[in-house]
Amino acid sequence: MILHTASGVHRIDIEVAESDQEKAYGLMFRRSLGDDQGMLFPYPTAHEITMWMRNTFIPLDMIFIRADGIVHRVETDTEPHSERIIGSQGDVTGVLEMKAGSARRLGIKPGDRVEHSHFKAAAKR
């Protein structure tokens, strides 16, 4: 995945949570995540997406992405094990989870652009 931000172009090594089971499990129980690594949660249609941190040991940044690959919202430094619901606050087709601090370090903000095959396909629907 490639992120285009005001600070430059950043290549991120991602895992893709494709199945419902993979999406439900996500990054739960992991103890570490690299600086330029993340997990993408893709959805076939745009809708409000909600996440939480149950059983997640690593504080995360959540980047909510529209079908056209534009960052809609960024939730930073989520609290491990929290059951607080974190919503996209709008229709999106994907969520990228990265280690907390990544959004700040890479300068990820709403309006930035993501390149990945999922968003090219979703934008055509």
> What digits encode the pLDDT tens for the residues 8-43?
999 999 999 999 999 999 999 999 999 999 999 999
Judge whether residue 122 has pLDDT over 70. no
Considering the four listed CATH numbers 3.30.70.3040, 3.30.1330.180, 2.60.120.1140, 3.30.450.40, the one that applies to the domain covering 2-124 is: 2.60.120.1140
- Closest C-alpha to 80, from 61, 53, 44, 62: 53
Q: pLDDT tens for residues 66-106?
A: 999 999 999 999 999 999 999 999 999 999 999 999 999 99
- Closest C-alpha to 62, from 50, 76, 72, 52: 76
Q: What is the DSSP letter of 86?
A: E
- Residues 45-64 have a mean pLDDT of 97
The full set of domain ranges for the chain reads 2-124
Provide the terminal-to-terminal Cα distance of the chain, rounded to the nearest Å: 20
Query: pLDDT at position 42, please?
Result: 98
For the entire predicted model, the pTM comes to 0.95
